[in-house]
Amino acid sequence: MQLLKDMISKKGKVFPGNILKVDSFLNHQIDTGFLNEVGKEYYERFKNDSVNKILTIEASGIGIACITAQHFNVPVVFAKKNKTKNIAADVYSANVVSYTHSREYTVIVSKEFLTPDDRVIILDDFLANGCAMMGLIDIVKASGATLVGVGAVIEKGFQRGGDMLRNAGIRVESLAVIDSMTDNDIAYRD
Amino acid sequence: MQLLKDMISKKGKVFPGNILKVDSFLNHQIDTGFLNEVGKEYYERFKNDSVNKILTIEASGIGIACITAQHFNVPVVFAKKNKTKNIAADVYSANVVSYTHSREYTVIVSKEFLTPDDRVIILDDFLANGCAMMGLIDIVKASGATLVGVGAVIEKGFQRGGDMLRNAGIRVESLAVIDSMTDNDIAYRD
> CATH number, domain at B67?
3.40.50.2020
Does B115 reach chain A within 8 Å, measured CB to CB?
A: no
User: How many angstroms away from the CA of B95 is the closest CA of chain A?
Assistant: 18
**Is it the case that residue A84 has pLDDT exceeding 80?**
no
| Residues in B touching A83 (Cβ below 8 Å) | 101
3-class secondary-structure state, position A4: helix
Domains identified in chain A, total number: 1
Q: What percent of chain B has pLDDT over 70?
A: 99
- Asked whether the whole model's pTM tops 0.95, one would answer yes
| Residues in B touching A67 (Cβ below 8 Å) | 66-67, 70
Domain of A26?
2-188
Residue-level pLDDT at A175: 98
Whether B62 sits inside 8 A of A63 (CB atoms) is: yes
Question: What is the torsion angle, in degrees rounded to the nearest 10, for the CA atoms of residue A63, residue A69, residue A71 and residue A72?
Answer: 170
Any residues with CB less than 8 A from the CB of B137 and at least 6 apart, and which?
Answer: B122, B147, B150, B165, B170
3-class secondary-structure state, position A188: strand
Predicted confidence band of residue B120 (pLDDT cuts 50, 70, 90): very high
- In this complex, the residue of A25, A78, A113 whose CB is nearest that of residue B59 is A78
- The ipTM of this complex is 0.96
Is A100:A131 a contact under the CB 8 Å cutoff?
A: no
Is B106:B135 a contact under the CB 8 Å cutoff?
A: no
- Integer Cα distance of B162 and B166 in angstroms: 6
Does B69 reach chain A within 8 Å, measured CB to CB?
A: yes
| Residues in A touching B59 (Cβ below 8 Å) | 58-59, 62, 78, 80
Does A31 reach chain B within 8 Å, measured CB to CB?
A: yes
**Is it the case that residue A83 has pLDDT exceeding 80?**
no
- Integer Cα distance of A22 and A27 in angstroms: 7
3-class secondary-structure state, position B172: strand
